[in-house]
């Protein structure tokens, strides 16, 4: 593990609590307009469109579009089920920016600051650059660079995204560790030759819904990012 020089991070679910943040932001936009919804169900419905939206790009059916664009398209796809019709463009835009206002899980920022002493740090997320920048400003994430889908021009778990991140830092895959709360992300990174770290986020999709332990072999695992950092000696 002493050869690891950079740590790459999944963001949605791993570093930030998208579900309660999107629920809160949707409520703050829509409640003043008289809408009263199950806000957690609203967040879940939006997230449910996430993989199918990216699959259009991964499969080559549409050109690469940044995640903000997919989030907006996905939003318009599911909101009729919540009885929301003919929302003005500015409301749809403001809702889409909910994903720029997600709060970190409480262990994250302090752990990243410790890891920064000995590792290069970057998000390798499917979120676009501006979204990652806004989350970093909001939560004090000390990134060295913003890597991930927009830099690679494709979406995880396509190998190009992990490999483009390694290349941006002039590192071999074995010198990079992907950290995520999702075993599928780690399996894809490991297949590219990266080291892997798992963080448990048992409540990602609501109480008792997330991974409590990795479902694939990993190099290190922690109950949270603080424990993972400690296991790496930080």
Q: Which is nearer to a copy of itself, 45 or 136 (CB)?
A: 136
How many residues bind a copy of itself (CB under 8 A)? The answer is 19
Of the residues 29, 45, 54, 132, which one makes contact with a copy of itself according to CB under 8 A:
132
Instruction: Take residue 137 and report the two structure tokens written for it.
Output: 């400003």
- Any residues with CB less than 8 A from the CB of 147 and at least 6 apart, and which? 8, 122, 123, 124, 164, 165, 168, 169
Contact between 188 and a copy of itself per CB under 8 A: no
Of the residues 49, 92, 169, 187, which one makes contact with a copy of itself according to CB under 8 A:
169
| CB-based contact 181:105 (threshold 8 Å) | no
Q: Which is nearer to a copy of itself, 142 or 217 (CB)?
A: 142
In Å, what is the CA distance from 12 to each residue of 83, 103, 116, 173?
A: 27, 10, 20, 22
- Any residues with CB less than 8 A from the CB of 93 and at least 6 apart, and which? 72
- Shortest Å, Cβ 146 to a copy of itself: 4
Give the DSSP letter of residue 122.
Answer: E
Residue window 40-69: x/- pattern of binding to a copy of itself, with contact defined by CB under 8 A: ----------------------------x-
Contact between 144 and a copy of itself per CB under 8 A: yes
**Sign of dihedral through CA atoms 179, 182, 188, 193?**
positive
Instruction: Take residue 51 and report the two structure tokens written for it.
Output: 């993989």
Contact between 89 and a copy of itself per CB under 8 A: no
Contact between 136 and a copy of itself per CB under 8 A: yes
Contact between 149 and a copy of itself per CB under 8 A: no
- Residue numbers of the site for a copy of itself (CB under 8 A)? 68, 120, 128-130, 132-133, 136-137, 143-147, 150-151, 168-170
């Amino acid at each position: 593990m002493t050869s690891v020089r950079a740590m790459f991070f999944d963001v949605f679910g791993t570093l930030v609590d998208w579900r309660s943040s999107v629920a809160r932001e949707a409520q703050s936009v829509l409640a003043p307009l008289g809408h009263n919804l199950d806000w957690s169900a609203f967040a879940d419905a939006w997230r449910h469109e996430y993989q199918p939206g990216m699959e259009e790009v991964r499969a080559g059916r549409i050109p690469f579009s940044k995640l903000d664009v997919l989030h907006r398209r996905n939003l318009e796809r599911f909101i009729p089920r919540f009885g929301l019709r003919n929302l003005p463009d500015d409301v749809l835009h403001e809702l889409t920016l909910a994903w720029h206002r997600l709060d970190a899980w409480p262990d994250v920022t302090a752990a990243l600051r410790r890891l920064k002493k000995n590792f290069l740090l970057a998000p390798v997320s499917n979120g676009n650059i501006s979204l990652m920048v806004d989350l970093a400003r909001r939560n004090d994430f000390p990134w060295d660079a913003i890597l991930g889908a927009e830099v690679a021009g494709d979406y995880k778990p396509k190998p190009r995204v992990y490999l483009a991140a390694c290349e941006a830092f002039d590192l071999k895959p074995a010198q990079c560790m992907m950290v995520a709360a999702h075993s599928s992300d780690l399996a894809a990174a490991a297949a590219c030759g990266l080291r892997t770290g798992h963080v448990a986020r048992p409540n990602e999709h609501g109480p008792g819904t997330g991974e409590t332990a990795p479902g694939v072999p990993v190099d290190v695992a922690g109950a949270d990012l603080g424990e993972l950092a400690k296991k790496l000696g930080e």
